[in-house]
Amino acid sequence: MDPTTQAALAALVGAVVAGGAVLAWAISDRQQRHVPQTEPAVPPGAAAVLSVLRSSAVLVDGDDVVVKASAPAYAFGLVRGTALASEALADLVRQVRRDGQIRETELMMTRPDLPPRTVTARVAPLGSRLVLALVEDRTRERRVEAIRRDFVANVSHELKTPVGAIRLLAEAVCDAADDPEAVKRFSARMLTESDRLSRLVQQVIELSRLQGDDPLESPRPVSIDDVTSAAVDTSAIDASTKRIGLVTGGETGLEVYGNREQVLAAVSNLVANAVAYSAEGSAVVVNAKSTPTTVEISVVDQGIGIPAAEIDRIFERFYRVDPARHRSTGGTGLGLSIVKHVAATHGGEVKVWSVEGQGSTFTLSLPRSAVSLGEPRTKPSSSTTAVDGGNATQPTHPQEVRR
């Protein structure tokens, strides 16, 4: 065979081999393309770990499909079907998948059926395609932080007012040293402001102690007769000044089980509020009655009442329905907060009935003590502690809010 023929045959064989190789590669590539992509396997033991985590945990694959989620994640609403419910969290997962960097951030999650919630999300890669997201609800912590900030700001503001007034009055006394009448007048004002400052400090201490949610120390039977008598006596001078009749009535011999000082503080605040927001010549009625399991202490006034839009907020600290009146009434804005916490500490509740322009009724319900479960005695008639409330009648109030 001549050399030319040999070269031609060699070229033909090489072409056939090369074509076969290309054809084989093409067939292999086509087969690989038609192989379905399966979801990445969850690492061994991951399901057991997710089941014991307190955080809401979600495993997401390369197609943003949730392949595994803990029970808290479903309860929290992080997963909708097979996808993440939060677009912000899904975007964070995609960022982590892109560069493999662990990320942690705070997000605001919103759902149509729930109020917005603040969460912290920590997202990290887990293998080549999986991404793990751990989410914790921080709504309560953020709310507590905001309440604390507001509390400090409000206390600072409330303390600044009497302290500043005492300073100015002290300067006025110094300037009026040669005027005995002016000194007496300014000194009386200083006493008023110092009393207000003392009340504020005392109420802040009481409220801080109650908010600790500490169990009652050495609870014992508390006589409601003694409590109402002491509470009325505390406000008797203010009531006499405004010619407001303080009337006590209802059942006698009732007792609750708890802390006498706390119960007295709650009832005293209710009576003081009623006197402060009642018109001259009206009446404030303090009434006690029993149910099979509770004792109800109601304080009824014929004052300015509470607008319907404000009722839900009156138990907030430092909140006043009429901020312009707090200087004249001398209130601190803490009284009803103390009442609410005393009720909660004793396992009771406080209810409000009010009509704007007609008056309000606050009812403190506390569990009865075992000693008080016998048949109560009923007063034959009401007793009046401060006169000039004369012919006022007890109003009825159809609007109720429980706390």
Question: What is the per-residue DSSP string for 137-168?
Answer: E-HHHHHHHHHHHHHHHHHHHHHHHHHHHHHH
Q: Do 381 and 240 fall within a single domain?
A: yes
Q: Do 367 and 241 fall within a single domain?
A: yes
Read off the CATH number of the domain in which 149 is found: 1.10.287.130
Q: What is the rounded distance in angstroms from the CA atom of residue 76 to the CA atom of residue 58?
A: 11
Q: Do 237 and 376 fall within a single domain?
A: yes
Q: Do 155 and 301 fall within a single domain?
A: no
Q: Do 177 and 226 fall within a single domain?
A: no
Q: Is residue 12 domain-resident?
A: no
Q: Do 71 and 143 fall within a single domain?
A: no
* pLDDT at site 197: 79
Q: Is residue 76 domain-resident?
A: yes
* pLDDT at site 286: 94
* pLDDT at site 271: 92
CA angle (356, 359, 360) in 5-degree steps: 100
Return the structure tokens found at 162: 């009497």
Asked whether the beta carbons of 402 and 351 are under 8 A apart, the reply is yes
* DSSP conformation class of 254: -
Q: Is residue 226 domain-resident?
A: yes
Asked whether the beta carbons of 316 and 299 are under 8 A apart, the reply is no
Q: Is residue 251 domain-resident?
A: yes
**Residue 359: its H or E element:** strand 359-367
Q: Could you report the per-residue pLDDT of 89-127, keeping only the tens digit for each? A: 889 888 988 888 898 888 887 777 777 888 888 998 887
Range of the domain at 99: 49-137
Q: Is residue 17 domain-resident?
A: no
Q: Could you report the per-residue pLDDT of 329-385, keeping only the tens digit for each? A: 445 567 788 888 888 888 889 988 888 888 899 999 998 875 544 544 444 334 444
- Last residue of a domain, which of 183, 212, 241? 212
CA angle (352, 257, 239) in 5-degree steps: 45
Residue 204 CB neighbours (<10 A) = 19
Q: Do 182 and 310 fall within a single domain?
A: no
- Last residue of a domain, which of 186, 212, 238? 212
Give buried/exposed letters for 16-29 (b at 16+ CB in 10 A, else e). eeeeeeeeeeeeee
* DSSP conformation class of 136: E
Q: Is residue 31 domain-resident?
A: no
Domain count across the chain: 3
Q: Do 66 and 175 fall within a single domain?
A: no
- Last residue of a domain, which of 79, 113, 137? 137
Q: Is residue 32 domain-resident?
A: no
Q: Do 103 and 150 fall within a single domain?
A: no
Q: Do 358 and 222 fall within a single domain?
A: yes
Q: Is residue 26 domain-resident?
A: no
* pLDDT at site 300: 92
Q: What is the rounded distance in angstroms from the CA atom of residue 335 to the CA atom of residue 268?
A: 9
Q: Do 145 and 133 fall within a single domain?
A: no
Q: Do 119 and 161 fall within a single domain?
A: no
Low-confidence ranges of the chain (pLDDT < 50): 32, 34-37, 39-40, 323-330, 372-373, 375-402
Is the pTM higher than 0.75? The answer reads no
User: Taking Cα atoms as reference points, which of 352, 383, 380 lies closest to residue 365?
Assistant: 352
User: Taking Cα atoms as reference points, which of 310, 274, 251 lies closest to residue 386?
Assistant: 274
Q: What is the rounded distance in angstroms from the CA atom of residue 247 to the CA atom of residue 389?
A: 8
Read off the CATH number of the domain in which 298 is found: 3.30.565.10
The residue behind tokens 């005492």 is: 166
Counting beta carbons within 10 angstroms of the beta carbon of residue 214, is it exposed (0 to 12), middle (13 to 18) or buried (19 or more)?
exposed
Q: Tell me the three state secondary structure of residue 49.
A: helix
Q: What is the rounded distance in angstroms from the CA atom of residue 306 to the CA atom of residue 273?
A: 12
Read off the CATH number of the domain in which 107 is found: 3.30.450.20
The overall average pLDDT reported for the chain is: 75
